[in-house]
Structure 1
Amino acid sequence: MSLPSLPDIPLGLALPAAATTLAYLNARWSLFYDINMIKSLLKMSIKARFAERGDRMSFFYVLENYALASTTRDSTFLVYNGRSYTYHETYLMALRYGSWLKKAHSVQRKDIVAIDLMNSSTFVFLVLGIWSIGAVPAFINYNLSGKPLTHSVRTSTANLLLVDEEVRNCFPPEQLKTFASPDFRDGKGPVEVVFINPEVEAQVLELEPVREDDKVRSGVSSRDMALLIYTSGTTGLPKPAIVSWRKCWSGTLFTGNWMHVTPSDRLFTCMPLYHSSAAVLGFLMCLMNGATVIIGRRFSARNFMREARETDATIVQYVGETLRYILGVAPEIDPVTGEDLDKKHNIRLAFGNGLRPDIWNGFKDRFNIPTIAEFYAATEGTSGQWNLSTNDFSAGAIGRNGAIGNIIFGRGTAIVDVDFETQEPWRDPKTGLCKKVPRGDPGELLYALDATDPAASFQGYFKNSKATEGKIVRDVLKKGDAYFRTGDMVRWDADGRWFFSDRLGDTFRWKSENVSTNEVAEVLGSHPEVHEANVYGVALPNHDGRAGCAAIVLNQQIASGTSGPVLEPSRETLNSLAAHALNGLPRFAAPLFLRVTPEMQATGNNKQQKHVLRTEGVDPSLVSNHDRLYWLQGSSYVPFEQKDWNRLTGGQVRL
């Protein structure tokens, strides 16, 4: 029996019908979006594999290829402080700095060189120069001083520290004396501190740009260390996270393809280069894709869009509250023509992480920027989430995917229930395994690892196996598996959108930095007047993240034997507490608020209780009248009263 023939459909009707069907499927399942993601992943994988096979993993070769090719050597790679450098000029500067490091400071292959520099062209030249001689740069946060600075340099194992002249104030005589101690590096000698100033830069310019033989860069595998970038983590002091060559290649190739970056693009960033966002996904992403990176010295909300406009940026980079601060600046109007200068630019895309949903569309609308490229990742992490958003559907999401992506991400991730008492993934008492949360519910995000070889994708923390192993959880969905713990609560909804819920545990985020309550409490607790300190983050009106608050019990209260109204600290004690906190902690981690209390709130088993303190925050109307609130103004703690809270609530104070 023959099948009935299908009716002939005119081509003029068939094509629109097919297009309509394809459009529907794309809208329903985000097919084109997933295809772009998959193409980006494939290109990344293929190029990185060829580089490893050809023993060309070092990004020095990426620079060299652009610098020596006749079609790209004169293209602009770097713009800083009004000065432009071509790929070839950058290459010559990298060779000069490499020669200087080798001749003047005896830096050898695989040595680690610590860099404590603010954003500048010199930062870029030094990184590329270090790679040109086969060494490894370690990025030190230039805001650090005292104990955090000492710890960061010591854990890098570097015997050479290059410091920006502008942050010399973080290096008082006692700090330099500490670095000069023969025992500083566990008996391996002192650290040589070199301040990068105009005289040093002039010496470098006089050197010949000597290219070292390939053997100094040979034998590098994808999992070898390319960079050390510090993260506050959850254990207190900064930890050096190993950024492998694989992560550099995957991050720069994927983001470039995902955002369709071409050599005509110009990315403007004034985010700190000591962070992976600006360094890997900004500076190195432009290098990998033949684009131009425009570097700002430091962030200024008032000047950000003006500088992006004047440098013809096509992409701007943000982190955390950056775009909120920019929105807080009054609109810029041309005084002659009355033209809205906020919309007069060439920016096609804003790229970064931490953009809050409440200002997402407000920023796009005010500045007429069509696309937000939001991502979620961690310096030490193994993967990330990505959201290239041009409409309201995915506004506020940290990532998204369609039907195909569901299959891919579903295999590589797990969102599991959490035991909030232990702050660990919840486990079934019978099986000992974790439990996935229902789609759309919040849970801790985990990324799958090779259980037999976790270091294939997670290199962890430099010379800190305990911290590294602490980020790995095993026997999650089946016996013998392994996952990387992000420590973050996320939601993955039925439409393929990923949303950030909260940071697991006590660590809170302020000024785009993670702040460890344990680290802050340890510093405060070492003050001679403090009996006990309980540190937590508090939500503030009109501010993102959480500000640091420390509930403290003073020794004078204990000595008095009273548990009634608090004995108010003297002005000398308050000044001393402020100086102690600012000396022992980065500025962003020093508590903005103190809650002096007669006795500490605790659970039945004598664990510090934070929940009630967090809930009350620093609203004087909610805080017990037995307690006293203070806030950090300049370099001193002064009383924080209802009128101050009202100013915060009214948006008249920006912390």
Structure 2
Amino acid sequence: MNSNQSDMITWGMIIRKLPSIARALPRVLKGMKAANVEKPDQACGLGWTFEQATQRNPDGAALLYGNQRLTYTQVNQWANRITHYLQQQGLGKGDVVAIFIENRPELLVAVLAVAKLGGICAMLNTAQTQGVLAHSLNLVKPAAIVVGGELVAAYSAVRPQLAIDAQRTWFVADQQTFVDPGEAPEGYINLISASADSPSSNPPSTQQIYLDDPCFYIYTSGTTGLPKAGIFKHGRWMRTSASFGTIALNMQPEDVVYCTLPLYHATGLCVCWGSAIVGASGFAIRRKFSASRFWDDVRQFNATTLGYVGELCRYLIDQPPSARDRDNPVLKMIGNGLRPGVWAEFKQRFGVGHICELYAASDGNIGFTNVLNFNNTIGFSLASWALVEYAHDTGEPIRNSAGFMQKVAKGGQGLLLAKIDDKAPLDGYTEPEKNRKVTLCDVFEKGDRYFNTGDLLRDIGFGHAQFVDRLGDTYRWKGENVSTTEVENIFLQHPHIAEAVAYGVQVHNTNGRAGMAAITPAESLATLDFRDLLQFAREQMPAYAVPLFLRVKVKMETTGTFKYQKTRLKEEAFDPAKTGDDPIYAWLPGSDTYVQVTEQTVLDIQSGKFRY
């Protein structure tokens, strides 16, 4: 999110917000009390919060999907039956259950059931296939898995590489009705049928889950090229749901959150669903985002609240204007990545009063929220944080002669560090080595510890910040973090590629960075079949990770320490006028091959002729 000096928050702006601040104080205090679970033996977490919501709003809508409406009582009892069944099968607290289902109620009910058990849900990215999927599963050693009918083929392809017992491989049919559980394929057990006769009462295990117990493994891109599993504990669930649902959104039983974001991500699963649960509100979901159907769904579900990422908002803005644009019940929205150029236009066109832009990392210990409804800011954080100077070539924080790090001046941009303490613990990753890499010690004084977010922020005054950019070997495209090393490793499996360097480049009027790869042929340019190359990439990578641009280089330039010169590659991007003799190829929307880029192609892309 780019910004300038005019975005600084002033005393005048704060004074104008005083009535809003006064109205927000009661819910801020209520949210802080709910979020700060201090007793290590106090029952808390996802299952406990859902049971509280069921008591508060038993007949209110909990899940809405298509024409289906499930009340809090129905969802709670459904999850309870599955929990009791899983216990009968020998699963218990601390066991890992992989969840591999696309956005639909069965995913959330399965997650809730495992949470009540005290198990840990490994939230698999439904776009993963082949080696990446096998890695994600083997990384967390699941005791069981629940597979949606729509993903049986993807799972079956990697099943021989796994050690999950067939008696704990459960199937959930892909269907539009919850009456008929469907029939499981050979080698799978139908979870809905098997658990149908189990008790529907709340299991005692829900009361034995505490703040330090893990709830989810949520995958993030790894610098080694393969996903890392971040630990998300029940105590953090309490902080997240209360911070966003109570403090930021003031969710109530009459509210409905509409979410088309993938539920294997923390934004959809924890921020959006968590906000709905803490308010005993409705949660409406859709399998896949549809720009043309979006507002019809909003009206159908009577949604008061939207979950978003910046790209989703841009797609909605790109839709032809309609007389019904403001004919919707939406009052507020929560998400991240909304560009300043879209912010004001979105609020005006669709009549949305409050944009709760947030910043949070599923593997971190800090979150920012735009509680006071300023424009173009991620808001403020109750946790302790600092922006420090960093080395532009490596992205590493800089220490002074005394060995400590230096904070940037107000208005400047710097690397975000979040203090690790009892109020903001770091749940971290399943691999201890990953935790050591992101933990900084003796930052401002001896003995302190900070989480290195790897992100650039700008302090705009009064505790508020703006997101600037993401450092390191990942970039964000279509709402997903893409590991450059993962892309490189897959390309290097192609027999006609000798070297590959992946990076993100900016495309006009899009959010994040589009994928680009510089490749060196194993023999010559003539040996590269670009249709075959694209097909290979699409088969081996999630759709969002497939590079849109290729640069063919005879020889890769490296630094004195044998590192690829990514900074220059990013700057030159896909403009043939800057890349010299290196031909550039693009995968244009609607095509099935990479085509060579000309100056006219660049003009067409940047003018918006092609829609990404």
1:627 and 2:583 are equivalent in the alignment: yes
Q: 2:565 corresponds to which residue?
A: 609
Q: 1:195 corresponds to which residue?
A: 171
- 1: distance between equivalents of 2:477 and 2:36? 38
Q: 2:549 corresponds to which residue?
A: 593
Which amino acid in structure 1 is aligned with residue 229 of structure 2?
A: P
1:504 and 2:471 are equivalent in the alignment: yes
Which amino acid in structure 2 is aligned with residue 466 of structure 1?
A: E
CA pair 295-348 structure 1, distance change in 2 beyond 3 A: same
- 1: distance between equivalents of 2:73 and 2:582? 67
- 1: distance between equivalents of 2:38 and 2:562? 56
1:418 to 390, 394, 398: 390
Q: Quick check: 534-543 or 51-60, which moved more? A: 51-60
How many Å apart are 1:59 and its aligned residue?
2.8
How many Å apart are 1:80 and its aligned residue?
1.2
**Deviation by residue 1:205-228 (Cα, 9 ceiling, x = unmatched):** 7424343652x3454331221111
Q: 1:95 corresponds to which residue?
A: 80
Which amino acid in structure 2 is aligned with residue 168 of structure 1?
A: V
**Deviation by residue 1:167-208 (Cα, 9 ceiling, x = unmatched):** 23423x5422223xxxx48xxx78954331142366157424
Q: 1:324 corresponds to which residue?
A: 314
2:438 to 471, 477, 490: 471
- 1: distance between equivalents of 2:573 and 2:501? 13
Q: What does 1:527-606 correspond to in 2, within 5 Å?
A: 527-557=494-524, 567-571=525-529, 574-606=530-562
CA pair 123-141 structure 1, distance change in 2 beyond 3 A: same
- 1: distance between equivalents of 2:170 and 2:535? 27
**Deviation by residue 1:529-563 (Cα, 9 ceiling, x = unmatched):** 22211111111122211111111111214xxxxxx
Q: 1:444 corresponds to which residue?
A: 415
- 1: distance between equivalents of 2:79 and 2:157? 33
Q: Contact between 2:505 and 2:516, CA under 8 Å: does it hold in 1?
A: yes
Q: 1:646 corresponds to which residue?
A: 603
Q: Contact between 2:412 and 2:458, CA under 8 Å: does it hold in 1?
A: yes
Q: 2:3 corresponds to which residue?
A: none
Q: Contact between 1:550 and 1:591, CA under 8 Å: does it hold in 2?
A: yes
Q: What is the DSSP-based 3-state SS (H/G/I as helix, E as strand, rest coil) of the residue aligned with 2:97?
A: strand
1:225 and 2:239 are equivalent in the alignment: no
Q: What does 1:202-601 correspond to in 2, within 5 Å?
A: 203=193, 206-211=196-201, 213-214=203-204, 216-258=205-247, 259-332=249-322, 340-388=323-371, 390=373, 394-400=374-380, 412-428=384-400, 430-450=401-421, 457-462=425-430, 464-494=431-461, 496-557=463-524, 567-571=525-529, 574-601=530-557
- 1: distance between equivalents of 2:526 and 2:506? 25
How many Å apart are 1:142 and its aligned residue?
0.5
Percent identity of equivalent pairs: 30
How many Å apart are 1:127 and its aligned residue?
1.3
Q: Quick check: 294-303 or 51-60, which moved more? A: 51-60
**Deviation by residue 1:204-256 (Cα, 9 ceiling, x = unmatched):** 57424343652x34543312211111111444211111111111001111212
Q: Contact between 1:78 and 1:84, CA under 8 Å: does it hold in 2?
A: yes
Q: Contact between 2:77 and 2:202, CA under 8 Å: does it hold in 1?
A: no
**Deviation by residue 1:596-655 (Cα, 9 ceiling, x = unmatched):** 111212234432112222112112333223434243766543433444333312212122
**Deviation by residue 1:565-611 (Cα, 9 ceiling, x = unmatched):** xx33342xx34433443343222112221111112122344321122
Q: What is the DSSP-based 3-state SS (H/G/I as helix, E as strand, rest coil) of the residue aligned with 2:605?
A: helix
How many Å apart are 1:156 and its aligned residue?
2.1
Which amino acid in structure 2 is aligned with residue 274 of structure 1?
A: Y
- 1: distance between equivalents of 2:48 and 2:559? 58
Structure 1 unaligned spans of 5+: 1-23, 333-339, 558-566
Larger Cα Rg: Structure 1 or Structure 2?
A: 1
- 1: distance between equivalents of 2:138 and 2:592? 28
CA pair 191-610 structure 1, distance change in 2 beyond 3 A: farther
Q: Contact between 2:85 and 2:195, CA under 8 Å: does it hold in 1?
A: no
Q: What is the DSSP-based 3-state SS (H/G/I as helix, E as strand, rest coil) of the residue aligned with 1:499?
A: strand
Which amino acid in structure 1 is aligned with residue 121 of structure 2?
A: P
Which amino acid in structure 1 is aligned with residue 378 of structure 2?
A: I
Q: Contact between 2:96 and 2:140, CA under 8 Å: does it hold in 1?
A: yes
Q: Contact between 2:372 and 2:379, CA under 8 Å: does it hold in 1?
A: no
- 1: distance between equivalents of 2:23 and 2:479? 30
Which amino acid in structure 2 is aligned with residue 263 of structure 1?
A: P
TM-score by length of 2: 0.89
CA pair 610-534 structure 1, distance change in 2 beyond 3 A: same
- 1: distance between equivalents of 2:92 and 2:72? 25
The aligned length equals: 587
- 1: distance between equivalents of 2:540 and 2:166? 22
- 2: distance between equivalents of 1:28 and 1:72? 37
Q: Quick one: higher RCO (CA 8 Å, sep 6+), 1 or 2? A: 2
- 1: distance between equivalents of 2:575 and 2:107? 43
CA pair 58-28 structure 1, distance change in 2 beyond 3 A: closer
- 2: distance between equivalents of 1:53 and 1:479? 28
How many Å apart are 1:25 and its aligned residue?
7.6
Q: 1:10 corresponds to which residue?
A: none
1:130 and 2:122 are equivalent in the alignment: no
Q: Contact between 1:223 and 1:457, CA under 8 Å: does it hold in 2?
A: no
How many Å apart are 1:37 and its aligned residue?
6.6
- 2: distance between equivalents of 1:319 and 1:255? 15
Q: Contact between 2:131 and 2:158, CA under 8 Å: does it hold in 1?
A: no
CA pair 45-96 structure 1, distance change in 2 beyond 3 A: same
CA pair 60-577 structure 1, distance change in 2 beyond 3 A: same
CA pair 191-470 structure 1, distance change in 2 beyond 3 A: farther
**Deviation by residue 1:475-534 (Cα, 9 ceiling, x = unmatched):** 111122110111001110235431111111232111111112222222222322222111
Q: 1:110 corresponds to which residue?
A: 94
Q: Contact between 2:221 and 2:474, CA under 8 Å: does it hold in 1?
A: no
1:81 and 2:66 are equivalent in the alignment: yes
CA pair 302-224 structure 1, distance change in 2 beyond 3 A: same
How many Å apart are 1:320 and its aligned residue?
2.9
Q: What is the DSSP-based 3-state SS (H/G/I as helix, E as strand, rest coil) of the residue aligned with 1:568?
A: helix
Structure 2 unaligned spans of 5+: 1-10, 174-180, 183-189
TM-score by length of 1: 0.84
- 2: distance between equivalents of 1:312 and 1:386? 24
Q: Contact between 2:35 and 2:240, CA under 8 Å: does it hold in 1?
A: no
How many Å apart are 1:325 and its aligned residue?
0.5
Q: What is the DSSP-based 3-state SS (H/G/I as helix, E as strand, rest coil) of the residue aligned with 1:415?
A: strand
- 2: distance between equivalents of 1:263 and 1:627? 58
Q: Quick check: 269-278 or 158-167, which moved more? A: 158-167
- 2: distance between equivalents of 1:551 and 1:25? 50
Q: Contact between 1:631 and 1:639, CA under 8 Å: does it hold in 2?
A: no
- 2: distance between equivalents of 1:26 and 1:629? 48
CA pair 421-331 structure 1, distance change in 2 beyond 3 A: closer
Which amino acid in structure 2 is aligned with residue 280 of structure 1?
A: C
- 1: distance between equivalents of 2:505 and 2:63? 40
**Deviation by residue 1:420-462 (Cα, 9 ceiling, x = unmatched):** 233210111x211110111111100111113xx79x7101002
Aligned-residue CA RMSD (Å):
2.7
How many Å apart are 1:101 and its aligned residue?
3.1
How many Å apart are 1:133 and its aligned residue?
2.6
CA pair 224-551 structure 1, distance change in 2 beyond 3 A: same
Which amino acid in structure 1 is aligned with residue 553 of structure 2?
A: T
